[in-house]
């Protein structure tokens, strides 16, 4: 249960000081410790492209803007705070369910692209991924809102990481359902909230979306949709679906997170099981309890 934080401050400064011809190589060096996250890609991906796909800053962003943001990360002790949050979260999850493996973690925290409107305005300076056991990638822009939520962001991704580790849930990209993804987001948000309070909830989900019965109903209609290529709209919402070339389904940003939190809250109320204890509980079990509590049923196709 070790946590290894990549020294991304040095790596990002090296990227900024690189010539345009060397910039991609510098990005690849920064991401190299994360290469194992892409074990399923024969020969591995171009890690410079991975950086861009994760909303990472590009060579055209003003150097002083990136260097100032790196300084802001250091002043906020972001690497230390993330590491301590992950260590606390690992202990909590291990105590709640010792049968699930607690992976050794490699963690990359990198600056996003402040010129990308979707990144800055729609998802408010946050894109993170913790779904591959042993690796967590967090892309942020250091707004006050994001910096206040660092621990919550890390804990959210940790719950995903443990859920999909040995002894947990198996994620098959071809057969996994929207229901699994939505429940996982709800579990992760509520796990983080148990440890850090309101800052545990994903901040790009509006209060209106979180409480909307229409959003809840619409997400429920997609719970049995399979295949990851269609998940963006159901989980992240229509703006992200359009960005990624998927079909919109009439949902706002963060709809799946909002619905997932309501499903998991209903499950918890009925069973008394915490999100930590339910880290390896299949989504089907959670939904079988939660949907009737909310006056909903699984879609019939």
Which of 126, 141, 168 is at the close of a domain?
Answer: 168
Same structural domain, 20 and 150: yes
My answer on whether 8 and 126 are in the same domain is yes
Looking at residues 93-98, what average pLDDT do you find?
95
The answer to whether residues 130 and 177 belong to one domain is: no
Q: Could you say which of 120, 135, 168 is where a domain stops?
A: 168
CA distances from 65 to 13, 74, 102, 146, 216 (A): 11, 14, 37, 17, 40
> Average pLDDT in the 204-224 region?
98
The partner residues of 139 in beta bridges, in order of sequence, read 110, 127
Does residue 301 share a domain with residue 231? yes
Question: In the prediction, which pLDDT does 301 show?
Answer: 64
**Going along 7-123, which residue ranges are E strands?**
105-111
- Judge whether residue 277 has pLDDT over 90: yes
Average pLDDT, integer, range 262-288 = 98
Instruction: Name the pairing type of β-strands 105-111 and 135-140.
Output: parallel
Q: Please, are residues 128 and 136 in contact by the beta-carbon 8 Å criterion?
A: yes
Question: Which tokens is 147 given?
Answer: 């910096």
Q: Which of 259, 277, 257 is nearest to 268 (CA)?
A: 277
Clarify whether residues 202 and 281 are in a common domain: yes
Mean pLDDT, the chain, integer: 96
**Overall domain count for the chain:** 2
Query: 253 and 239 in contact (C-beta within 8 Å)?
Result: yes
pLDDT at 131: 95
**Is-contact 104 39, C-beta < 8 A?**
no
The pair of three-digit structure tokens given for residue 195, joined into one six-digit string: 């440890």
The boundaries of the domain holding residue 257 are: 170-301
133 plus 215 within the same structural domain = no
Residues 6+ apart with CB under 8 A from 141: 69, 111, 112, 114, 119, 120, 125
Q: 231 and 187 share a domain?
A: yes
Kindly state whether residues 109 and 192 are assigned to the same domain.
no
**Per-residue exposure over 141-154, b if at least 16 CB sit within 10 Å of its own CB, e if not:** bbbeebbebbbbbb
- The helix/strand/coil state of 247 is coil
- Mean pLDDT on 269-296: 98
Pairing of strands 126-132, 105-111: unpaired
Q: Are 177 and 164 contained in the same domain?
A: no
**pLDDT tens readout for residues 108-163:** 999 999 999 999 999 999 999 999 999 999 999 999 999 999 999 999 999 999 99
| Distance separating alpha carbons of residues 175 and 289, to the nearest angstrom | 22
122 and 17 within one domain = yes
pLDDT of 216 > 80? The answer is yes
| Residue 57, pLDDT above cutoff 80 | yes
Give the residue from 117, 147, 168 where a domain finishes.
168
162 with 287, same domain: the answer is: no
Strand order in the sheet with 135-140: 3-5, 105-111, 135-140, 126-132
Q: What is the pLDDT of residues 3-52, one digit of tens each?
A: 999 999 999 999 999 998 899 999 999 999 999 999 988 988 999 999 99
Say yes or no to pLDDT of 269 above 80.
yes
Burial group, residue 73, by CB count within 10 angstroms (0-12, 13-18, 19+) = buried
Q: What is the dihedral of CA 224, 227, 230, 231, to 10 degrees?
A: 70
- Specify whether 129 is located in the same domain as 275: no
């Amino acid at each position: 249960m070790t946590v290894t934080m990549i020294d991304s401050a040095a790596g990002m400064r090296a990227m900024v000081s690189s010539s345009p011809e060397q910039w991609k190589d510098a990005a690849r060096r920064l991401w190299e410790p994360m290469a194992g996250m892409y074990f399923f890609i024969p020969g591995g991906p171009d890690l410079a492209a991975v950086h861009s796909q994760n909303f990472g800053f590009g060579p055209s962003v003003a150097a002083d803007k990136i260097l100032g943001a790196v300084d802001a990360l250091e002043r906020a002790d972001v690497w230390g705070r993330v590491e301590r949050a992950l260590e606390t979260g690992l202990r909590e999850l291990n105590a709640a369910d010792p049968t699930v493996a607690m992976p050794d973690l490699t963690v990359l925290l990198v600056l996003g692209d402040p010129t990308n409107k979707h990144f800055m305005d729609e998802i408010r300076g946050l894109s993170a991924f913790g779904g591959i056991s042993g690796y967590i990638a967090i892309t942020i822009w250091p707004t006050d809102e994001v910096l206040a939520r660092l621990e919550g962001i890390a804990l959210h991704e940790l719950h995903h990481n443990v859920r999909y580790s040995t002894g947990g849930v198996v994620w098959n990209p071809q057969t996994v359902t929207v229901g699994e993804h939505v429940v996982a987001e709800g579990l992760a948000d509520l796990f983080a909230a148990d440890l850090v309070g309101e800052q545990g909830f994903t901040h790009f989900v509006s209060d209106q979306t979180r409480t909307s019965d229409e959003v809840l109903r619409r997400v429920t209609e997609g719970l049995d949709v399979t295949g990851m290529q269609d998940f963006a709209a159901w989980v992240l919402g229509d703006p992200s679906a359009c960005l990624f070339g998927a079909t919109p389904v009439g949902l706002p940003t963060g709809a799946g997170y909002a619905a997932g939190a309501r499903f998991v809250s209903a499950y918890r109320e009925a069973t008394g099981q915490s999100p930590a204890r339910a880290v390896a509980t299949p989504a089907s079990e959670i939904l079988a309890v939660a949907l009737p509590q909310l006056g909903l049923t699984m879609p019939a196709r």
